[in-house]
Amino acid sequence: MAKYLLLKHYRGAPASVHDVPMDQWTPGEVTAHVQYMRDFITRLEGTGEFVNTEALTQEGTFVRHDGEGRPPVTDGPFAETKDLIAGWIVIDVETYERAIELAGELSAAPGAGGRPVQEWLEVRPIYAPPPTSTE
């Protein structure tokens, strides 16, 4: 089994086929989208392929160590993940092909007008150190 990150973007990915921002959806369309996501996760829990999911707000701050004293905090000018990353699902699947299959299903979540959003999802393997052998 290998873990993969299915990464949803606010922006930064290619535009989805039905590219209507969620803040322009009706409350019913948002509810249908969220329910699709819940059902998707429930199904993955049933197959043992679900690990974790989180949705992110657009708030956030960059912080770094800068020696003694208060660390510097900035809100730019570089591309910020708070503007880019909407959330993620971590899956644990047998093959890369299965990760791609699940990302395709997730991309079909309904959006404006009940049409599948067909958003682009980033599929990233999660680093796992190679197994060690013991003698």
- Triad 125, 129, 130: Cα angle to 5°: 105
- The average pLDDT across 107-115 equals 92
Q: Does 131 or 23 have the greater pLDDT score? A: 23
> What pLDDT, on a 0 to 100 scale, did the predictor assign at position 82?
47
**Residue 6 near residue 102, CB atoms below 8 Å:** yes
pTM for the structure as a whole: 0.77
What residues form DSSP beta bridges with 124? 5
> What pLDDT, on a 0 to 100 scale, did the predictor assign at position 75?
61
> What pLDDT, on a 0 to 100 scale, did the predictor assign at position 41?
96
Distance CA 106, CA 13 (A): 15
Phi/psi at 28 (5° precision): -65, -35
**Residue 8 near residue 123, CB atoms below 8 Å:** no
Q: How many CB atoms lie within 10 A of CB 102?
A: 23
Whether residue 135 has pLDDT greater than 80: no
| Tens-digit pLDDT profile for residues 8-55 | 876 667 777 888 888 899 999 999 999 999 999 999 999 999 999 998
Sign of the CA dihedral running 61, 38, 112, 121:
positive
Domain 2-125, architecture per CATH: 2-Layer Sandwich (3.30)
What residues form DSSP beta bridges with 5? 90, 124
Give 53: exposed, middle or buried? Use CB within 10 Å, 0-12, 13-18, 19+: middle
| Tens-digit pLDDT profile for residues 70-95 | 777 766 555 544 456 788 999 999 99
